Structure 1
Amino acid sequence: MNMLQSQQPVPVHAFKPDKATGSNAFTIARSEGGLVYESDVLLPHRKAYYLLVFVRHNRGRHWVDTMPYEHHDNTFYFSTPTQVMVKEEPTPSWGTFLTFTNEFLALQQNAAIRGLPLIQNPHNGHELQLAAADVAFVEEVLAKLEAEYQAPGPWQHQMLSAYLTVLLTYLSRLYTEQFTGAEPSAEKQLLKTYQAKIEECFRELHEVGAYAELLHLSAGHLSEVVKAQSGKPAIKHIHERLVLEARRQLFYSYQSLKEIAFDLGFSDASYFARFFKRETGMTPAEYRASTREMYQ
């Protein structure tokens, strides 16, 4: 697997508008055996948009964060803008690719999409296994989406949003079955809201009290609900998100410890190193060396 060879941070790939249709916030494309990946995705990167791929047939392997995924037929893959990705090698692919931006989700007509589990992705997942009935449903909706996408008109945006809402709602039901297994209670919803706020602010806010203030709650109440729903102290969720981002950068980039610490909101690199060792049992340097030795 290729690694970044400079001390630059993991690059972020911008959304590419569809020149043929003029779409600048949503695209859908089908591949029938093409090499759809460009060379720059063979290096670690993030995407500044959501990517959803229904793979009918493909072989190979790619990575999301520090998790390898072997490609399987009739599988739905999805990623959010925060995740670090890299593909090991270009391989022919048969499938359908959907991309859309945060600006697309911000449109009023897409309000129902923003809160779906597949989009919020609280479990940092990436892969959905589809049964035969699921494959048939997904293929039917994707065909309707693609047909509408290729036929611009005054109602096109509303139709695209409607079909996409149906598709992502269906996939979100599969997501909850494969990752959570239950409908969220009010307390569970608070946990999800807390996790979403951490996702937004973990670089700047490292204390539970700061999140409680954002949510207009007392720190005690927030801590109590989070501990009851997740089995972990509220501060642990913040620390785990910081460690996840640190692992990403240590694994995929050659940024210095000081640069990573500063990016994560630590003013002192030595304090960050102690924090990382306390949470993982390894120093940042030990983690970087051991993981690269394991996966090279």
Structure 2
Amino acid sequence: MIVDQEKDVAIRQYSLQESSSLGSSVFEITKAGGNLRKLRSNVFVPHRKDYYFLCLVKAGNSHHWVDFIPYTTQPNRLYFTSPQQVQVKEETEPMDVIILSFTEEYLQLDENHSLRQLPIIQNPENSHELKLLPDHVLFIEDLLGKMLVEFNAGQTWRTGMLHAYMSVLLIYLSRLYTEQYQADTTSPDRTLLNRFRTYIDSRYHTLHQVADYADLLNLTPGHLNDRIKQQSGKTAIEHIHERLVLEAKRRLLHTNLSAKEIAWQLGFEDAAYFHRFFKRLAGNTPANFRTTIREMYH
């Protein structure tokens, strides 16, 4: 894979409106039969989407990376990404797909708010692919087909119908997610863990201490740590540190920022401390990690 030697200071982010062929800004569902109309300028360019992206592949394949995992898409599988994941397209080929895209703003609507807690949205395993059995494909394709018709028809109560279809689809996909990745995040006793992870995703670059998140959740640090460890098997600080290391790895791979600059972006005032922090958790120095991961990309 080619690594761009003129990387921007920040990893490029595409909005739904910018990526959409219809100019949609919050929600869109499209079908492409052989000619996938997407941005061509982002091939080999590390980028994030600022929206959730679900793609049912019926035919054709493409090659891409999500974070540090290479994928060659295969027919009759569902691929999905979350806004924070970094993607790189290596090849784009004609494909037969149905694509569903929606933003965080869509999930924050009152009627959709509960969908935010589903595993397919939370994506605790930082995954990207669902392997589907034939009956799964039939169910998902039928449901997406109904959504596509409703989205394009513009009939009375269209929003309510799409919400109903979305609820069924995301719950169904969440069941498949938990079966495949064995991450049963739907149980009531993991609600706090989901909220904690959501806060980390949005504030990891400014808040590094358990006490910071305990304040947001109206808990004492000790109580928060006990409950998070009970629900996940990891301490609260381990979750915070893992998120920081993941983001540091993304920026070491996809930008030419120095380790000192990355440390500053992630809220570390002392570059030497960041160096020790990264080496302790990643088992390698930032410079060595960058060299190794880029060699793997080539």
Answer yes or no: is the 8 Å Cα contact 1:112–1:165 preserved in 2: no
Superposed CA deviations along residues 138-184 of structure 1, whole A, max 9, x for unmatched, are 01111100111111133111111111111111111111111235465
Q: For 1:196, give the aligned amino acid.
A: T
Match of 2:3 in 1: 3
AA at the equivalent of 2:28: T
* Paired residues of 2:124 and 2:183 also in contact (CA < 8 A): no
- Aligned-residue RMSD, C-alpha: 1.8
Aligned-partner Cα distance in 2 for 1:76–1:63: 15
Instruction: Report matched runs for 1:82-231 at 5 Å.
Output: 82-180=84-182, 182=184, 184-231=186-233
SS in 2 for 1:162: helix
Say if 1:38 and 1:186 are closer, same or farther in 2 by CA, change over 3 A: closer
Q: Is the Cα contact below 8 Å between 1:109 and 1:161 reproduced in 2?
A: yes
Answer with 219-228 or 273-282: which moved more: 219-228
Ranges in structure 2 where 5+ consecutive residues have no aligned partner = none
Q: Distance in 1 between matches of 2:40 and 2:93?
A: 12
Distance in 1 between residues matched to 2:46 and 2:7, nearest whole Å: 13
Which residue of the partner structure matches residue 31 of structure 2? 30
Number of matched pairs: 295
Q: TM-score, normalised by structure 2?
A: 0.93
Instruction: Answer whether contact 1:50 1:100 (CA < 8 A) is retained.
Output: yes
Alignment of 1:41 onto 2:36: no
Aligned to 2:17: 16
Give the structure 1 partner of residue 268 of structure 2. Answer: 266
The CA deviation at 1:194 is 1.7
Does the aligned pair in 1 maintain the 2:3–2:294 contact within 8 Å? no
* Partner SS, residue 153 of structure 2: coil
Tell me whether 203-212 or 186-195 shows the greater mean CA deviation.
Answer: 186-195
2:68 pairs, out of 66, 69, 79, with 66
Separation in 1, partners of 2:156, 2:206: 43
Residue 56, structure 1, aligned to residue 52, structure 2: no
| TM superposition outliers: structure 1 runs of 4+ over 4 Å | 17-20, 183-186
Note the C-alpha offset of 1:198: 1.2
Distance 1:183 1:289, change over 3 A: closer
Q: Which deviations, in whole Å up to 9, do the C-alpha atoms of 1:30-77 show, x marking residues without a partner?
A: 111114342233111001111110111222321111111121110111
Taking the aligned partners of 1:4 and 1:14, their CA distance within structure 2 comes to: 21
Output the CA distance in 2 between the equivalents of 1:55 and 1:28: 14
Distance change >3 Å, CA 233–CA 109, structure 1 → 2: closer
In the superposition, the TM-score normalised over structure 1's length comes to 0.94
- Helix, strand or coil for the counterpart of 1:199? helix
AA partner of residue 26 (structure 1): F
Counterpart Cα distance in 1 of 2:118 and 2:144:
18
1:231-251 Cα deviation digits (max 9, x unpaired): 222211111100000111111
CA contact (8 A) 1:105 1:114 kept: yes
Paired position in structure 2 for 1:77 = 79
The letter for the 1-side match of 2:91 is: E
Is contact 1:52–1:97 with CA below 8 Å preserved after alignment? Answer: yes
How far residue 199 of structure 1 moved from its aligned partner, in angstroms, is 1.3
CA shift, 1:279, in A, is 0.9
Secondary structure in structure 1 of the residue aligned to 2:278: helix
